[in-house]
């Protein structure tokens, strides 16, 4: 064997060590979970698992077999933080915190598809921009938000700066003009906005506001970044187990399948809030199975 210099030996050692570390990283990462059914990506809003901290939430996704997550801010903030301290915490949290969270989801084989950071009219410009900074560290290009109509112009400027899509999320607050609820409120926000302003269509809340999610999806699918899948009754009715409300979940999912629209359909489990004692993971698995059967029918 030819002799080599100490410098060359050092290079070989470092190269070998890098290979070992890379291999170790691969070993730590779980196989990617595939929850695409007939071309439709089924995932969940992590708010569905609001009864548990981040690590247990990630494990719940794995147990339920869901490979895509829309991450709720409640799973990045300290669980014991007071409501009036939340914004201050976000401005001061180290960015490494968000990178570590990103790595945890990646190691679990689950894709972070969006970050749910809500922009409100009383937020400072710094508060608004912080959502984009955190989303960037989390590795996502979509922010979903329960926001005010009046704040959209400010958010749009930042969306253009960071080149991130915004999904405006509605509820059934049809009596509050500065909240998103029906087609008119979304239209007012998107009119004159850039291509980065879109909709996070919650088909359950849309039904509760007496909207037609199927018709809206057909008309505005190019502006919809993600769906929230839940079942509610019309006219401000209750959240119910899938199949018991008025929401056309199956029709919506089959429309995504047949038209090959690539927006994720994220389960948002809410009906358990009025029924204490239900097992969250078991209920989300039921929701997933309902979606699977609807797509395979």
- The model's pLDDT over 104-120, given as tens digits with 9 standing for 90+, comes to 999 999 999 999 999 99
Q: Looking at residue 295, what DSSP letter applies? A: H
pLDDT at 273: 67
Render the burial of 80-89: b for 16+ CB within 10 Å, e for the rest.
Answer: eeeeeeebee
Residues 218-232 have a mean pLDDT of 98
Q: How far apart are CA 159 and CA 151, in angstroms?
A: 12
Class of domain 33-296: alpha beta
pTM of this prediction? 0.89
Residues 174-193 have a mean pLDDT of 94
DSSP H or E run through 144: strand 142-145
- Cβ neighbours for 18, distance < 8 A, ≥ 6 positions apart: none
- The model's pLDDT over 267-277, given as tens digits with 9 standing for 90+, comes to 999 997 656 67
pLDDT at 26: 42
pLDDT at 19: 42
Residue 99 has pLDDT above 70, yes or no: yes
What are the residue boundaries of the structural domains of the chain, listed by start?
A: 1-30, 33-296
In this structure, what token pair is assigned to residue 284? Answer: 């989300």
Which residues are paired to 197 by β-bridges? 166
- The model's pLDDT over 26-53, given as tens digits with 9 standing for 90+, comes to 445 789 999 999 999 999 999 999 999 9
């Amino acid at each position: 064997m030819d002799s080599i210099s100490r410098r060359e030996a050092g290079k070989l050692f470092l190269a070998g060590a890098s290979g070992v570390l890379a291999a170790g990283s691969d070993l730590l990462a779980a196989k990617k979970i595939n929850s695409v059914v007939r071309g439709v990506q089924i995932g969940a809003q992590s708010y569905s698992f609001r009864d548990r901290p981040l690590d247990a939430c990630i494990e719940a996704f794995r147990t339920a077999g869901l490979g895509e997550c829309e991450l709720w801010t409640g799973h990045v903030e300290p669980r014991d933080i007071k409501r009036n301290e939340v914004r201050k915490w976000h401005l001061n949290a180290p960015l490494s915190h968000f990178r570590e969270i990103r790595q945890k989801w990646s190691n679990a084989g689950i894709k972070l598809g969006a970050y749910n950071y809500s922009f409100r009219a009383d937020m400072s410009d710094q508060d608004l921009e912080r959502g984009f900074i955190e989303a960037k560290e989390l590795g996502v290009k979509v922010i979903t938000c329960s926001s005010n109509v009046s704040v959209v112009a400010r958010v749009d400027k930042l969306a253009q700066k960071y080149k991130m899509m915004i999904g405006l999320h509605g509820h059934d607050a049809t009596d509050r003009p500065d909240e998103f609820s029906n087609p008119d409120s979304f239209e007012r926000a998107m009119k004159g906005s850039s291509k980065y302003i879109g909709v996070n269509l919650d088909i359950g809340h849309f039904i509760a506001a007496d909207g037609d999610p199927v018709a809206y999806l057909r008309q505005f699918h190019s502006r919809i970044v993600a769906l929230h899948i839940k079942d509610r009754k019309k006219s401000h009715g209750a959240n119910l187990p899938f199949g018991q409300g008025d929401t056309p979940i199956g029709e919506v999912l089959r429309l995504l399948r047949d038209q090959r629209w690539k927006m994720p359909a994220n389960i948002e489990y809410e009906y358990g809030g009025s029924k204490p004692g239900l097992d969250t993971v078991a209920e989300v698995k039921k929701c997933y199975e309902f979606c699977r059967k609807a797509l395979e029918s």
